[in-house]
Structure 1
Amino acid sequence: MSTIPQSASQSSYQPIIPKDFNANQPKTIKLYPLSNYTFGTKDAQPEEDPSVVSRLERLETHYKEHGMRRTCEGILLCHEHKSPHILMLQIANAFFKLPGDYLQAEDDEIEGFKTRLNDRLAPVGSQFSGEGVNDEWQIGDTLAQWWRPNFETFMYPYIPPHCTRPKECKKLYFIHLPRTKVLSVPKNMKLLAVPVFELYDNTQRYGPQLAAIPQYLSKYNFEYLDEEGNTIAETPGIGDASSGGAKVVAGDVDMHAGTNGVKEEAA
């Protein structure tokens, strides 16, 4: 899954480094270890609807008043043992979902999504202080859009040809986690780090939307860092920026692009 860079290798037998294999590649993503993040709890957030029927009825009411409902969910990535893990909420020890929720009709998409993420995961009160407390969310690429053509449970990663007025659109965003962050979870939920290999092709347990996340992430290369920010592993074939290969890094670190020596400081 990953290659140990020469600077972190403890073996005298070094791997053969291929030519750069990073053409037209999205940003390389830096992943920090799960141990860098602090987790707390806050008051429970019970589900708004007692049943699936009531949820669909509320969706129908929303559609009649405001049109298609907009839902945003975030994919938060860290790593354990040099393997990508996704932070997911578990409800009632059985149901998994990504952080996020539907937007209010008047909300701006990105700002409304940040509000929803804060509702779910931002710490409250003075329980925590210091770095990573209530930092701004870094909303990255839209990785997928799922459409609900009717007032029913089925959603599709495309709009069926007979559907001209979908009832809901759910967007999955990549959320860039900084080096450290404090997350507070409602007491009636758990925040679990689920490895991508557990999700892959596992629709029976996670459903088609979550089971497809490994495919969404496959377009990225990953660079795995330790608690101090040193690279301990990386995706094979991402090239070496010092030798002219393109290496663009997302997050709060330097970014190098192309072979012309351009260097930008990310916020």
Structure 2
Amino acid sequence: MSTITPTALQSSQPPIIPLDFNANQPETIRLYPLSNYTFGVKETQPEEDPSVLARLKRLEEHYQAHGMRRTCEGILVCHEHNHPHILMLQIANAFFKLPGDYLRPEDDEIEGFKARLDERLAPVGSLGEGNKAGDWEVGDCLAQWWRPNFETFMYPFVPAHITRPKECKKLYFIQLPQSKVLSVPKNMKLLAVPLFELYENTQRYGPQLSAIPHLLSRYNFEFVNEDGEVVAKTPGTGAPDSYVPRPKVLAGGDDVDMKTENGTH
């Protein structure tokens, strides 16, 4: 029995090229490979609140003193095997969140947000050489989530009966440069989570994070290799047949064996 070679499966007819289909499309986003970035760890950043109840109590105190809390988080995107991956923090091996946090009452929105990104991801010591404070390219606001009451629930709209929401969280697209040094507190993990893993996975990641593939679908992407060459575009070629996207631990986590975590031992 003869073996069918890959060339035998190719069509002898050239593909039909459709008319342009990019009207009113945002500019194409260039994504750089995960291997372009350097990851390290820094001192522990303990959680401000020992429990969810304590966190909600502090939110209530903030509201009484300053009004609605403003929170900004970043969607940082790179790629591996031409598949977009989101840089995400994991706390206590369970809780996932995007880099960022609530703004101080006196903060300007964008400058305050950059300062919060620095707190979470800016390197220190020798790793910080060549890095400037607030060196982040804050792009489009992709989503707004609202907390109507002093409860854990947030919604991508303000419920009709709510006139004074207690918190607004904005998710911003952060354009990563061609290379960058990032450092995560050692009590957290920095993960690269593929869109494939996030999509409709509310049970593991919750409604905000699992909605990210929808938010990014408005963009076209160019995937660049380590040499700065565009190797794929959307729509275009996909990953190798043997590649299955899954989260990868980049840095952080006390006593973490990276090879074991990522299944590469």
Query: 1:26: which partner in 2?
Result: 26
* Deviation (angstroms), 1:37: 0.3
Please give the secondary structure, in 1, of the residue aligned with 2:55.
helix
* Deviation (angstroms), 1:126: 2.3
* Deviation (angstroms), 1:133: 6.2
1:144-223 to structure 2, matched below 5 A, reads 144-223=143-222
Query: 2:140: which partner in 1?
Result: 141
Asked whether the 8 Å contact 2:114–2:134 carries over to 1, the reply is no
Query: 1:242: which partner in 2?
Result: none
Query: 2:70: which partner in 1?
Result: 70
Normalising by structure 1, what TM-score?
Answer: 0.81
Please give the secondary structure, in 2, of the residue aligned with 1:112.
helix
Distance 1:36 1:66 in 2: 41
Distance 1:213 1:69 in 2: 22
Residue by residue over 1:26-61, the C-alpha shift from the partner in whole angstroms, topping out at 9 and shown as x without a partner, is: 110000000000001100101100000000000000
Q: Which protein has greater RCO, CA pairs closer than 8 Å, 6+ apart?
A: 1
Asked whether the 8 Å contact 2:114–2:136 carries over to 1, the reply is yes
Please give the secondary structure, in 1, of the residue aligned with 2:53.
helix
* Deviation (angstroms), 1:127: 3.1
Asked whether the 8 Å contact 2:118–2:134 carries over to 1, the reply is no
Asked whether the 8 Å contact 1:76–1:177 carries over to 2, the reply is yes
For the aligned residue pairs, the C-alpha RMSD in angstroms reads: 1.8
Q: Does 1:46 align with 2:43?
A: no
Unaligned stretches of 5+ in structure 1?
A: 1-11, 238-267
* Deviation (angstroms), 1:15: 4.6
Distance 1:15 1:29 in 2: 26
Asked whether the 8 Å contact 1:32–1:225 carries over to 2, the reply is yes
1:29-108 to structure 2, matched below 5 A, reads 29-108=29-108
Higher mean displacement: 15-24 or 29-38: 15-24
Amino acid at match of 2:227: E
Amino acid at match of 2:141: T
Distance 1:13 1:233 in 2: 22
Asked whether the 8 Å contact 1:140–1:174 carries over to 2, the reply is yes
Normalising by structure 2, what TM-score?
Answer: 0.82
Distance 1:110 1:59 in 2: 21
Residue by residue over 1:121-180, the C-alpha shift from the partner in whole angstroms, topping out at 9 and shown as x without a partner, is: 0011223434x6657100000000000000000000000000000000000000000000
Asked whether the 8 Å contact 1:133–1:181 carries over to 2, the reply is no
Quickly say closer, same or farther: Cα 1:228–1:15, change in 2 above 3 A: farther
Please give the secondary structure, in 1, of the residue aligned with 2:164.
coil
* Deviation (angstroms), 1:14: 6.5
Query: 2:250: which partner in 1?
Result: none
Unaligned stretches of 5+ in structure 2?
A: 1-11, 237-265
1:107-146 to structure 2, matched below 5 A, reads 107-130=107-130, 136-146=135-145
Q: Percent identity?
A: 76
Amino acid at match of 1:22: N
